[in-house]
Structures are given as structure tokens and as C-alpha cells.
């Protein structure tokens, strides 16, 4: 069934940013010469699973960021992973009527998923090829936004937040880091090699188990007898993602 317009944002929308800041502050408070930081930028393809696939889309695309801190006193590194996935987009031209005049406008609606996870990763820090496994826990935040641009006007148009919801999520992944460039290790002076830097290609797959959430997809917003309605879907938000990007160790 349809659901009327909902404009308010949930507090969950701020969770990914707060999580990243919290982890970053913890990392800085424990920096030592033995520490290793890892920052990655990647593009990703998302494949919704089961009912989420039937309701939303077969595939979505986007990008993500990973930040990992390895204190060397632990057998694993930990950090945060943020992702931005676009799973639906509609754009069309419409006649907008007002009390003064009618005018043409370009209307575009975007369906997005913002993912924010605390991440734990087991990985080697030397070698040309470095396989790893990781675990994640956080949330999937689904949102739909519309922009209306009047043709011939130079302003940024009207931006409307249509709908949002969030769901707890967790999962795991496997990946491979392939070294491109690295500061050479000198066995004659090991104490000067405590801070190694490297640039690596990062290829990984993740399976994210997401809880139930309400969301919109392409075609969910429509008018009937002059009234605006939302056809809201609800399901689990499980996804399989494939990521490839560049990672910096320092």
C-alpha cells in the first residue's frame, strides 16, 4: 500500500559519520612508532539479495572509504568502513502548475544506501600479495531524495528529502592486497623500518546481512487524483558487494 510523504530524517543518518570520528579519535590517542595506518578508496558494485533484489534492483553502484588502525599489540587491525551506493535513479521533464503560471522543470529522484560499519581485519603487512579476511558491524541507511530544476534558471533548484529508514547490519569479507610501491625494507637497520609505507591495489568481496527496513524504489513516487503517494517496500537489506580500489599504508 501507499504511504504519504515523510520529510523528517532519522537520527540514524548521523551514525556513520559519528562512528568514523570516534574510531579516528581512538586511533590518534594510541599512535606509536609501531603503529600502522591504512586508508583505502574504492569503487563498488552492490548486488541486492533475495526480496531486496526483487523490490529494489539487480545491481547498484557507488564508492567507499576504509580506514584501519593496527596497534601491533593486537593480532588484528580495526577501523571504519563507509559506503555510498546508488540503486535507483529517475529523471523526467514535467509541467509544474502554480497560481501565477505553468513552467517546465526537470525532476530527478535518487535512491541511495549509505553504509557505516566498524571493521576488524586480519591481514599480513609484508609480501607482494597479501590476502585478508574481515568482519563488519554497523548499519544500512536507505534514503530517497528528489531535485526539481526549473529549465532556464541558474540556481540549484529545489531539493526534497522524500523518505529514509535504517537497519542494523553485519557481515564479512575476503580480499587481496597487491603491492604496487613500498618503502624498501633494510634488514641491516631494522629499527628504521618500523614505519613502512606502501601503495597497493585492493580487491575484495563482502556479504552484508541487513535487517528489515522500509524504502522506495524506481516508480514508488506517483500521483493519483492530484495527491502524492509513496509505494513503500519493506524487506531485509542483504547485499553482496564487489570492491576494487587503491589502499595506502603509512
Strand pairing class (212-215; 198-210): unpaired
C-alpha cell at 26: 581512538
Which residue do the cell numbers 609505507 mark? 197
For the chain, the structural domain boundaries read 2-249
Polymer length in residues for the chain: 250
Using one digit for the tens of pLDDT, what is the confidence trace for 154-172? 566 788 899 999 999 999 9
pLDDT tens column, 36-77: 899 999 999 999 999 999 998 899 999 999 999 988 777 789
Q: Per-residue pLDDT averaged across 95-104, rounded?
A: 69
> Higher-confidence residue: 18 or 105?
105
The pLDDT, as a whole number, for residue 152 is: 60
Which residue in 93, 85, 149 sits closest to 117, CA to CA? Answer: 85
More confident residue, 187 or 209: 209
- Residue 229's pLDDT band (cuts 50, 70, 90): confident
CB 204 within 8 A of CB 21: no
Mean pLDDT of the chain: 82
With contact defined as beta carbons under 8 Å apart, do 78 and 121 qualify? Answer: yes
pLDDT at 219 (0 to 100) = 82
The predicted pLDDT at position 126 comes to: 81
Question: Over 50: is that where the pLDDT of 203 sits?
Answer: yes
Residue 111 has pLDDT above 90, yes or no: yes
In whole angstroms, what is the distance from residue 234 CA to residue 225 CA? 25
pLDDT for residue 33: 43
Q: What is the mean pLDDT of residues 139-145?
A: 96
Position 2 scores a pLDDT of 37
Instruction: Return d(Cα 18, Cα 36) in angstroms, integer.
Output: 22
Contact 244, 202 (CB under 8 A): yes
- pLDDT of amino acid 211: 97
d(CA 106, CA 147): 8
Answer for the pair 209, 171: CB distance below 8 angstroms, yes or no.
yes
Q: What is the mean pLDDT of residues 164-191?
A: 84
- List the end-to-end C-alpha distance of the chain, in Å, as a whole number: 52
Q: Which long-range contacts (CB under 8 A, 24 or more apart) does 21-25 make?
A: 23/67, 23/69, 23/78, 23/79, 23/80, 23/118, 24/67, 24/80
Task: Indicate the range of 99-108, 140-149, 173-182, 211-220 predicted with least confidence.
Answer: 99-108
- Which is more confidently placed, 1 or 207? 207
Going by pLDDT thresholds of 50, 70 and 90, the confidence category of residue 114 is very high
Give the CATH fold of the 2-249 domain: Porin (2.40.160)
Tell me the mean pLDDT in the region 19-38: 54
- Residue in the structure block whose three cell numbers are 586508508: 39
Beta-bridged to residue 165, according to DSSP, are 142
**Model confidence at 235: pLDDT above 80:** yes
Lowest mean pLDDT among 19-28, 86-95, 129-138: 19-28
- The pTM of the full predicted model, rounded to 2 decimals, is 0.77
Amino acid at each position: 500500500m501507499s504511504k504519504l510523504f515523510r520529510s523528517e530524517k532519522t537520527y540514524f543518518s548521523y551514525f556513520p559519520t559519528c562512528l568514523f570520528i570516534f574510531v579516528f579519535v581512538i586511533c590518534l590517542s594510541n599512535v606509536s612508532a609501531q603503529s600502522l595506518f591504512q586508508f583505502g578508496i574504492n569503487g563498488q558494485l552492490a548486488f541486492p539479495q533475495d526480496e531486496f533484489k526483487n523490490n529494489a534492483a539487480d545491481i547498484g553502484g557507488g564508492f567507499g572509504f576504509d580506514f584501519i588502525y593496527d596497534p601491533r599489540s593486537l593480532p588484528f587491525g580495526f577501523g571504519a568502513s563507509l559506503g555510498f551506493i546508488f540503486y535507483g535513479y529517475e529523471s523526467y521533464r514535467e509541467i509544474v502548475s502554480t497560481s501565477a503560471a505553468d513552467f517546465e522543470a526537470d525532476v530527478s529522484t535518487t535512491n541511495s544506501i549509505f553504509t557505516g560499519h566498524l571493521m576488524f581485519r586480519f591481514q599480513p603487512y609484508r609480501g607482494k600479495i597479501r590476502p585478508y579476511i574481515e568482519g563488519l558491524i554497523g548499519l544500512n541507511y536507505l534514503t530517497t531524495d528528489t531535485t526539481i530544476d526549473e529549465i532556464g534558471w541558474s540556481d540549484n533548484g529545489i531539493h526534497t528529502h522524500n523518505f529514509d529508514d535504517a537497519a542494523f547490519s553485519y557481515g564479512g569479507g575476503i580480499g587481496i592486497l597487491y603491492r604496487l610501491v613500498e618503502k624498501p625494507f633494510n634488514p641491516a637497520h631494522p629499527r628504521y623500518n618500523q614505519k613502512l609505507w606502501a601503495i597497493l591495489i585492493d580487491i575484495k568481496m563482502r556479504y552484508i546481512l541487513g535487517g528489515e527496513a522500509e524504502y522506495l524504489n524506481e516508480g514508488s513516487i506517483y500521483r493519483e487524483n492530484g495527491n502524492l503517494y509513496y509505494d513503500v517496500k519493506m524487506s531485509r537489506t542483504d547485499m553482496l558487494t564487489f570492491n576494487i580500489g587503491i589502499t595506502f599504508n603509512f
